[in-house]
Amino acid sequence: MKQKKGQPNFQFSEPAFLIHYMDRHQDWAAIICLVGGGQEINDGEAGIGERLAAVRAHYPHWHLYISEQLSDSEYAVGQALDSVQELRNVHLEKNLHLAVSMRSFRAENVSAFVKATLDCEVDGARKALAALSEKYPIVLTRDLNRAKQWIRARARGGERYGLVASSKAMRLKPHAIDIRVSVDPVHWFLSGRDDTRSSDYLEDCATEFQVQGLELDWTCVNWDADLRFGGAGWNYHDFRGSKWQNVKDTERRDYLRNAYRVLLTRARQGMVLFVPPGDEADPTRSPEFYDSTFGYLAEIGVPVLG
């Protein structure tokens, strides 16, 4: 608000300001919020938890109708859900959970697979993958050229495909993927296959910020060493200067994991996961940074391209 609106002493969060504005009505008002889980990828995004906190702190006289499934890890509401349940006007309704994804029209289990994979729930990921494999193919490779061939071969007619990667994927440059080069979303999503700026050209790679809320038919998800499987869970890293550094801040870890959640849910019909093989001669791309992630994805049943 200070930078964009010239309001240096603005004291409201976005949800709190919305409720404050509607609270001015003398008779009644209703606010309907459709909030996706695990979509917080940028500084200042607090998700559903901030809405609950705003009601508890400032507007306990409002009636709050919420899904009883907000306790799932995907929604990251923390203690906010427990705190609002103490209020008199809170109503838990199972029918308020929108369980069917409209993005992946060929498979309702994609979101469940992605959630279980990122939550390191091996059995759940395997079960969800088995349920969608015939309708929504997901494959794994360590060869980027093979990944490109795979999605090109499956696209029919005007179906679109493209490369996506985390905004923290700084060491994909040896594979000609430089996320610091910003794509033009208009050309990336709309231009034809003969345009080098098009997603279909499979040269420019979009990040979670450029594809959030949008989708392609087929995607190649390029998995760098910023998010690594560590055996018992994920390890989080940020490339600074000339080396990877551990991410210790909980909020930044959530943003990174959610970035991959966004990337893994952009395809309507199927996707290929590219995990680089690494390079023993390059300490910033040591094979050990990638091998465990590749092994984990293969363990949960993602077929490896032969």
For the chain, give every domain's residue range: 2-96, 110-299
Identify the DSSP state of 280. T
The answer to whether the beta carbons of residues 87 and 49 sit under 8 Å apart is no
Confidence (pLDDT) at 286:
98
Tens of pLDDT along 7-50? 888 888 888 899 999 999 999 999 998 876 655 545 555 567 78
Measured CA to CA, the distance from residue 232 to residue 246 in angstroms comes to 16
Predicted confidence at residue 47, as pLDDT, reads 67
CATH of domain 110-299: 3.40.50
Element (H, E) at 301: none
Distance (Å, whole) CA 195 – CA 197: 5
Q: Contact 83/45 with Cβ under 8 angstroms?
A: no
Q: Left, alpha or beta for 245 (phi > 0: left; psi -120 to 50: alpha)?
A: beta
* Banded model confidence at residue 56, pLDDT cuts 50, 70, 90: confident
Residues 9 and 279: their CA atoms lie apart, in Å, by 50
Task: Check residues 46 and 206 and name the one with the higher pLDDT.
Answer: 206
Q: CA dihedral in degrees (245, 251, 254, 256; nearest 10)?
A: -40
* Separation of CA 16 from chain center: 25
- Mean model confidence pLDDT for the chain: 89
Q: What is the pTM of this model?
A: 0.79
Residue 5: count other Cβ atoms within 10 Å of its Cβ: 8
Distance (Å, whole) CA 197 – CA 190: 9
